Amino acid sequence: MTLALYIAAMAGVTYLIRMLPFTFFRKKIKSRYIRSFLHYIPYAVLSAMTIPAIFYSTGSSVTAIVGTGAALVLAFLEMPLIVVALAASAAAFIVGLIMTHI
């Protein structure tokens, strides 16, 4: 019974979050500033969720920094997302291996 209530609450909240903007904003948003602001929200939220997870996922700040650096360089070079993710993970793993053997 409790699980069903949790699922119903989650469904309701998810529906409201998706439905409310369509209800309140029926006309196209003409303000260039607001449109620009709304365009960058997904990137800002994704960064805010991902960056802390990167630095707390490994046991060492060094491996996190190396992995992040590798990801930034490959992303700047416009590599595909899977290449960036795999290379960053590999870089952090290799540096972690090197650090344990030194």
Q: Which helix (H) or strand (E) holds 38?
A: helix 32-57
pLDDT (tens digit, 9 = 90+) per residue, 41-98?
888 888 898 888 888 888 889 999 999 999 999 999 999 999 999 999 999 999 999 9
| Contact between 66 and 91 (Cβ < 8 Å) | yes
- State the pLDDT at residue 1: 77
Q: What is the pLDDT of residue 93?
A: 94
How much is the pLDDT for 85? 93
Report pLDDT digits (tens) over 1-35: 789 999 999 999 998 888 887 787 778 878 888 88
Handedness of CA 34, 39, 45, 48 (dihedral sign): negative
Burial class of residue 75 (count of CB atoms within 10 Å of its CB; 0-12, 13-18, 19+): middle
Domain that holds residue 28: 2-101
- Domain total in the chain: 1
Query: Which pLDDT score, from 0 to 100, does residue 22 have?
Result: 77
What's the Cα-to-Cα distance from 91 to each of 45, 55, 64, 69, 95, rounded to whole Å? Answer: 25, 14, 9, 9, 6
CB 73 within 8 A of CB 60: no
Residue 18 is predicted with a pLDDT of 83
The pTM (predicted TM-score) of the whole model is 0.62
φ/ψ (deg, to 5) at 34: -65, -40
